[in-house]
């Protein structure tokens, strides 16, 4: 990869990490003491993000790869993953020594080859078997999800895709319509794929991270190891070499079900990976063209064609919308903020349990359960304040919302918001996320009506607007919200989000993946 500038190092006085080759003296001193003689360090191959990698000659003449890190969590993750993989018989470098002396050190036996899987005539089938050995490794206790995820894999992927789409829009790689399409595609694909098997995954399984030594393929560079969907590794390994995927799957011993899962998820995982790497390269001033071009190719050939379905045409004069979970991603942000608290005690909050409570007046508040996990009273006030900060930091406007609201405003529809939340919450989040409250002809919030599934909020809205239920359509993200709208005599379109997708929407008139999948037409424009 071409680099536009050398990475900067922390300024002097920023602790141990300062100046060029900040690690050299401490590393030489530590390893000399550990291996009983002078250790020669080669120039660094990596000197970035408070870590360094170089090759070394040990006193007995053996060649080694030395990894020096200031991040103990990252060091522990890589060390634990490597040792577990080695114990399970996966082809990984031998750990010669690991320890802490000012810095965290990981000394690996050098794989004596410069040949990798990207070279001509590389044994891709053998590589598939090597990856299978890694994925068959029991996940070590305490291993974090890949990319620091929490909760369930599917929700984590959907969240990370949303983050990468927002960043891609900001730097002009995607436009907003494309971002919305990707997010809808992610939700549908993950739902179709079903729960992911839990495996120890490499996390950065580029072809150059598989070294060819004789008749062996050795997996190296475990800095992103964690648990996750093994399909992700298989996709990342082959997304620049898709014609090699069948060879890899043959060597992996993939059955028909796994091959179908790879085919289904490959566009999503490839797009996620390339958007992530492109953003990282962009932020750190590396050349990101290859990943950006690959992301565009996957988008244009795989994702957008799957999303190009004609919008559903609906006739009405008034549009009544919910707020939380329909316009902004409240349910996921709330679930994840609670799940981070559960994670402190090695537990997980099930999304189906959370989804069953969404849209009602009894949101889950599991303090008693958390205190049972802790075995002692908790400082609820302080923890709740911190949880809300986490939640609010994850709130985003859902795909298609802005364009839908703009269309309602410019096309002359009467627009009303009917929410179980208080007005203070609605106004604050609208201001924070750039939604115009003045675009609504009426906002009906909690305190003015019994909460959904009672129909009162919708009945109040219809009365104040002077609109007959037959000439209005409600949009809801939860089963409770749909029940409220139907009880008020309204047609209702369900737009499930990544949490409420678990709800039963059989009583809705229509279920769509996003607000922009609907084409609204005023009844006054319909020929009679």
Burial class (CB in 10 A: 0-12, 13-18, 19+), 273: buried
* Residues tagged active-site: 322, 324
Q: What does residue 26 show for φ and ψ, rounded to 5 degrees? A: -65, -40
Contacts of 140 by beta carbon, 8 Å cutoff, 6+ apart? 80, 81, 84, 200
Contacts of 288 by beta carbon, 8 Å cutoff, 6+ apart? 277, 278, 279, 281, 282
Q: Distance between CA 122 and CA 99 in Å, rounded?
A: 35
Helices (H), 284-411: 289-298, 304-307, 330-343, 351-357, 367-374, 380-394, 401-410
Residue 396 in contact with residue 324, Cβ under 8 Å?
A: no
3-class SS letters over 246-298: HHHHHHHCCCHHHHHHHHHHHHHHHHHHHHHHHHHHHHCCECCHHHHHHHHHH
Distances (CA, A) of 423 to 100, 159, 438, 442, 515: 53, 27, 14, 12, 23
Burial class (CB in 10 A: 0-12, 13-18, 19+), 426: buried
Q: Which residues of 79-109 are buried (b: 16+ CB within 10 A; e: fewer)?
A: bbbbebbeeeebbbbeebebeeeebbbbbbe
- The DSSP line for 397-456 is BPTTHHHHHHHHHHTT-EEEEE-SS-HHHHHHHHHHHT--GGG-SEEE-TTSSPPTTSSH
Of the candidates 155, 240, 146, 159, the one whose C-alpha atom is nearest the C-alpha of residue 202 is 146
Element (H, E) at 181: helix 176-193
Long-range contacts of 422-425 (CB under 8 A, 24+ apart): 422/446, 422/447, 423/447
Contacts of 92 by beta carbon, 8 Å cutoff, 6+ apart? 82, 85, 86, 134, 218, 219, 220, 222
Give me the numbers of helices (H) and strands (E) for the chain, helices first please: 18, 17
Strand partners, 105: 68, 99
Contacts of 405 by beta carbon, 8 Å cutoff, 6+ apart? 327, 415, 435, 436, 439
Q: Do β-strands 51-57 and 63-69 pair in parallel, antiparallel, or remain unpaired?
A: antiparallel
């Amino acid at each position: 990869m071409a680099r536009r500038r050398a990475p900067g190092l922390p300024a002097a006085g920023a602790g141990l990490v300062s100046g060029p080759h900040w690690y050299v003296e401490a590393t030489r001193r530590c390893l000399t003491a550990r291996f009983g003689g002078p250790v020669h360090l080669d120039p660094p191959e990596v000197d970035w993000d408070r870590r360094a990698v170089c090759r070394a000659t040990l006193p007995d003449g053996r060649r080694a790869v030395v990894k020096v890190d200031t991040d103990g969590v990252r060091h522990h993750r890589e060390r634990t993953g490597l040792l577990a993989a080695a114990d399970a018989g996966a082809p990984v470098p031998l750990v010669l020594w690991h320890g802490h002396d000012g810095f965290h050190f990981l000394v690996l036996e050098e794989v004596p080859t410069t040949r990798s899987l990207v070279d001509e005539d590389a044994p891709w089938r053998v590589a598939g078997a090597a990856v299978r050995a890694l994925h068959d490794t029991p996940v070590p206790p305490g291993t974090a999800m890949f990319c620091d995820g929490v909760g369930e894999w599917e929700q984590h992927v959907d969240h990370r895709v949303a983050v990468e789409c927002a960043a891609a829009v900001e730097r002009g790689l995607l436009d907003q319509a494309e971002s919305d399409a990707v997010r809808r595609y992610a939700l549908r694909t993950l739902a179709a794929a079903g729960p992911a098997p839990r495996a120890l995954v490499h996390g950065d399984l580029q072809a150059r991270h598989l070294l060819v030594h004789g008749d062996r393929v050795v997996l190296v560079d475990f800095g992103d190891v964690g648990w996750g969907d093994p399909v992700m590794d298989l996709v990342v390994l082959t997304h620049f070499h898709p014609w090699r995927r069948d060879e890899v799957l043959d060597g992996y011993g993939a059955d028909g079900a796994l091959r179908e899962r790879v085919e289904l998820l490959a566009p999503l995982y490839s797009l996620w990976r390339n958007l992530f790497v492109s953003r990282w390269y962009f932020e750190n001033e590396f050349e990101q063209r290859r990943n950006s071009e690959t992301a565009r190719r996957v988008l244009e050939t795989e994702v957008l064609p799957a999303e190009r379905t004609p919008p559903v045409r609906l006739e009405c004069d008034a549009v009544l919308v919910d707020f939380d979970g329909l316009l902004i991603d409240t349910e996921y942000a709330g679930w994840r903020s609670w799940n981070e608290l559960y994670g402190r005690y090695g537990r997980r909050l099930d999304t189906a349990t959370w989804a069953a409570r969404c849209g009602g007046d009894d949101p889950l508040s599991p303090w008693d359960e958390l205190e049972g996990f802790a075995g002692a009273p908790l400082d609820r006030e302080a923890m709740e304040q911190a949880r809300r900060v986490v939640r609010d930091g994850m709130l985003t406007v859902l795909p298609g919302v802005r364009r839908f609201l703009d269309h309602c405003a410019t096309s002359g529809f009467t627009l009303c918001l009917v929410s179980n939340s208080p007005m203070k919450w609605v106004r604050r989040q609208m201001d924070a996320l750039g939604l115009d409250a003045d675009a609504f002809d009426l906002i009906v919030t909690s305190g003015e009506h019994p909460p959904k599934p009672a129909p009162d909020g919708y009945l109040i809205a219809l009365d104040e607007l002077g609109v007959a239920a037959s000439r209005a359509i409600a949009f809801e993200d939860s089963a409770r919200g749909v029940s409220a709208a139907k009880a008020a005599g309204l047609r209702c379109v369900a737009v499930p989000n990544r949490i409420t997708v678990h709800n039963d929407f059989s009583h809705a008139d229509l279920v769509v993946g996003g607000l922009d999948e609907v084409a609204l037409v005023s009844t006054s424009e319909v020929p009679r």
